[in-house]
Chains A and B, each alone.
Chain A
Amino acid sequence: MIAIPLQHILIFSLLLFAIGLYGALVRRNIIGILISIELMVNASNINLIAFSKYTSLSPETGQIFALFVIALAATAAAVGLAIVLALYRIRKTVQADEVHLLKW
């Protein structure tokens, strides 16, 4: 019925997660880091839906988890971007390594 095997979807979402993690580790711009985090959340969502489709008897469970994850990711993005705006207003920078107020 479904052409894609489960392993392929898992490996795909693993690669997507790794790309997002690379971006989160390497970017200097805080907005870039936030975008990469969205990518990682997205990869985990694909996993949730794939597992709920392939192995669970009630597929609603995984989809509702994915729904909650989407809502929380939107919340995180909104709060994070608000913090970035406030930071930019005070310090005139959005580069993560130029904000070393708490570094010794």
Chain B
Amino acid sequence: MAAILVFALGVVTFRNLFHCALCLAAALIGTAGIYIALQAEFLAGVQILLYVGGVITLVVFAIMLTEHLAGKTVRQNNAQSLPAIVGLAGFVTALIALILKTPWPVTEAALKAKTSAMGLGEALMGTYVFPFEVISIVLLAALIGTVVIAKKDAPEERP
């Protein structure tokens, strides 16, 4: 867990964005390990396939297309670093106190409950079939929108 936090810090502090993306990949793989520790193996697989395989590839593509990797390093942070750290420290301490004070209803029965990819599929096709369909439409719309936004304009529309 500490390694994941170190990688996350690397994500937000490195100057070279390419290193940030690699650190993000490492942090996401570590998170998949936590999923396995929480007995959500299917989610761990989805995490690695979708995040590490898909999102990281997209991010690296975008970095390659927009960044001039050779040479000059621009300032990556704005001037609000100190207020952000102070505010977040207050936020974190308040929430840690809250987490430690709350009596979480951890039950033995819940700890013993087993989950499998089969149960996930049944729930997805039974109880949650409507959100499933909605999210497929959202994915389709987002894909079309991505292509429309990212494609080059027709030559005659160029000013």
Interchain nearest-CB distance for A93 vs B (Å): 9
Interface residues of B in 1-33 (CB under 8 A from A): 1, 4-5, 8-9, 11-12, 17, 20-21, 24, 27-28, 31
Q: Is A101 engaged at the interface, CB distance under 8 Å to the other chain? A: no
Size category, B interface: 35 or more
* Chain B residues within an 8 Å CB radius of A88: 65-66
Q: Is A57 engaged at the interface, CB distance under 8 Å to the other chain? A: yes
| Inter-subunit contact B88/A14 (CB<8 Å) | no
Hey, what's the 0/1 contact readout for B60-78 against A, CB within 8 Å counting as 1? 0111011100000011111
* Chain B residues within an 8 Å CB radius of A66: 40, 43
A22-B131 Cα distance, complex, nearest whole Å: 32
Interface of B is mostly: helix
| Inter-subunit contact B55/A71 (CB<8 Å) | no
Q: Which of A20, A59, A71, A81 contacts B135 (CB 8 A)?
A: A71
* Chain A residues within an 8 Å CB radius of B135: 68, 71-72
Q: Which of A12, A21, A29, A74 contacts B76 (CB 8 A)?
A: A29
Residue of A nearest to B28 (CB): A42
6 further interface pairs, Cβ-Cβ under 8 Å (given A4-B37, A82-B149): A1-B111, A9-B34, A19-B11, A31-B62, A73-B51, A88-B66
